[in-house]
Amino acid sequence: MQIDLISIFPEFFNSLNLSLLGKAQDSGILKINVHDLRDFTTDKHKTVDDAPYGGGPGMVMKADVWGLAIDSVLKKSKTKPVLVVPTPSGKVFNQKMAQDLSNEDHLIFINGRYEGIDSRVVQFYQSDQRIKAVKEISIGDYVLAGGEVASIVMLEAISRLIPGVLGNEDSTSDDSFALGSMEKLVEGPVFTRPENWRGLFVPPVLLSGDHQKIAQYRLEEAKLRTKANRPDLGEDN
Ligand code: JD8
């Protein structure tokens, strides 16, 4: 999969070279390109924002600069990309969306700042034949200062679903929220050595070797934690 990210803070994405995503780049499964939006400005002050039409607080990012940046990435695109636009007014991200996006060949993440991006940018590319789709996505009901962190969240969730990214010891089959899983349950408690930590002992059933009893224990604990923390998940169970 090819991934392009455009932002006025490109260094934000240095973390994509670590861990899973770093290895996936080394193995060629992922090709990640980061672009500085200011490289597409046309004035000596590298201006990317301006006052909002209609007044109001803050500044809005300029459509003309974003257009030059996105077109430049499209010129190098081999397949029709999906534009992902993190925004608090988008559809809320979930595992199904991560699964769907993990099947794409090329994603372009449009990372806004300030009060957001001139809305004509999304409007323009929604009808652009070079683009497969424009997806405005929110990662949750809280306000961030920009799109970069949201893009990293989505990229981690998407990339680990791409075959070969997760080591064979890890699998997504027992993921919480995994699609098609009968019950949407959150993860239960986990334990490792030492058996006794500060007087707190690992539940004995986990030391019993009785795999049926262990599976039963884990299911019960997952249900208890789901009931306690995510009763909303139970609704469609
Ligand atoms: C993109 C600019 C900041 C948002 C004025 C604060 C996602 N779940 C989410 N919460 N916030 C964002 C998000 C916030 C952004 C941008 C995503 C670009 N801002 C703006 C509107 C109110 N400031 C997000 N995904």
What is the enclosing helix (H) or strand (E) of 4? strand 2-7
Tell me what pLDDT residue 179 has: 58
Low-confidence stretches of the chain (pLDDT < 50) are: none
Tell me what pLDDT residue 228 has: 95
What are the φ/ψ torsions at residue 91 (nearest 5 degrees)?
-65, 145
Tell me what pLDDT residue 82 has: 98
Give the C-alpha separation, 59 to 53, whole Å: 10
Q: Which ligand 1 atom is at minimum distance from the Cα of 141?
A: 8
Q: Which residues line ligand 1 (CB under 6 A)?
A: 86-88, 112-113, 115-116, 138-140, 142-147, 150
3-class state of residue 146 by DSSP:
coil
Contacts of 207 (CB under 8 A, 6+ apart): 195
Tell me what pLDDT residue 153 has: 98
CA of 120 to the centre of ligand 1 (A): 17
Q: Which ligand 1 atom is at minimum distance from the Cα of 150?
A: 25
* Number of CB atoms found within 10 A of residue 112's CB: 24
